[in-house]
Amino acid sequence: MSTSTGRLSAFRRSDVSCGSGVSPRFLAAAAAACLLATAGTTRASDDTETANDVLRVALPAAAFALTLKRDDREGRRQFYRSFGANVAATWILKEAFDKARRDGEGDDAFPSGHASMAFQGAAFIHRRYGIRQGWPAYAVAGFVAWERVDSDEHDWADVLAGAGIGIASAYLLVDRAELVVAPAFAPGYVGLTVSGTFR
């Protein structure tokens, strides 16, 4: 018994992703590759925008893939609700506010859809599977947000609003802390026990 436990704990220590299916090292490497691929080229702006377009979809796709990898049906239901609420809220706000983009191409700058999608994916991973899997996704989402401002598509208010909507949709609709409150009795003692999972 102790041998198999030792092997299992050694496996978990060596597997940075803790069985999530998407290693934090992989997400960090993907973000670094996108940055390096665009550095020093004459078309850096176009390449960076293309990477940005891919990453805004890749983060929610990675979040959804984690629910499949873990056979997490409840997580999939929560992902659908969170993603749908995020897209709906972003679209409604874009229609309600006619804010011109910094580059002059359109009047749908507020909020940033790229930032809301990227941060919804990152926040879902964090909320559902913990910060060890979430932090690399937040780093990639941060790159997406920074690039939207750097490419003159948005200002920081647009990007922060989009990030806020994405994070809120995950935190309001995904895996809230489950608390169990139960009475506790012992000789000379009466009380309550509180237990739960906090992510």
Q: Can you give the residue range of the structural domain that contains 57? A: 20-197
Distances (CA, A) of 94 to 63, 108, 149: 24, 5, 17
- If one counts every other C-beta atom within 10 angstroms of the C-beta of residue 20, the result is 21
Half-sphere exposure (CA, 13 Å, Cβ side) for 40?
A: 2
What is the rounded CA–CA span in Å between residue 26 and residue 173? 27
- For residue 168, the domain's CATH number is 1.20.144
Residue 122 lies in a domain: yes
Q: What is the mean pLDDT of residues 114-137?
A: 90
Residue 78 has pLDDT above 60, yes or no: yes
Q: What is the mean pLDDT of residues 92-100?
A: 85
Is pLDDT larger for residue 182 or for residue 180?
Answer: 182
Q: What local confidence, expressed as pLDDT, does residue 175 receive?
A: 73
Give residue 43's pLDDT band: very low, low, confident or very high (50, 70, 90): very low
Q: Closest Cα to residue 50, out of 33, 38, 66? A: 38
Let me know: does 81 contact 37? Beta carbons within 8 Å. Answer: no
Q: What local confidence, expressed as pLDDT, does residue 180 receive?
A: 55
Residue 144 lies in a domain: yes
Residue 10 lies in a domain: no
- Structural domains counted in the chain: 1
Half-sphere exposure (CA, 13 Å, Cβ side) for 101?
A: 17
Residue 14 lies in a domain: no
Give residue 4's pLDDT band: very low, low, confident or very high (50, 70, 90): very low
Residue 45 has pLDDT above 70, yes or no: no
What is the rounded CA–CA span in Å between residue 11 and residue 104? 52
Q: What local confidence, expressed as pLDDT, does residue 9 receive?
A: 34
Q: Which residues pair with 186 in a beta bridge?
A: 189
Residue 7 lies in a domain: no
Residue with tokens 């999939």: 76
Residue 6 lies in a domain: no
Residue 19 has pLDDT above 50, yes or no: no
Q: What is the mean pLDDT of residues 136-148?
A: 90
Residue 196 has pLDDT above 70, yes or no: no
Q: What is the mean pLDDT of residues 41-69?
A: 75
Give residue 116's pLDDT band: very low, low, confident or very high (50, 70, 90): very high
Q: What local confidence, expressed as pLDDT, does residue 89 receive?
A: 93
> Which residues, in sequence order, are CB contacts of 64 under 8 Å at separation 6+?
76, 79, 83
Q: What local confidence, expressed as pLDDT, does residue 5 receive?
A: 40
Give residue 165's pLDDT band: very low, low, confident or very high (50, 70, 90): very high
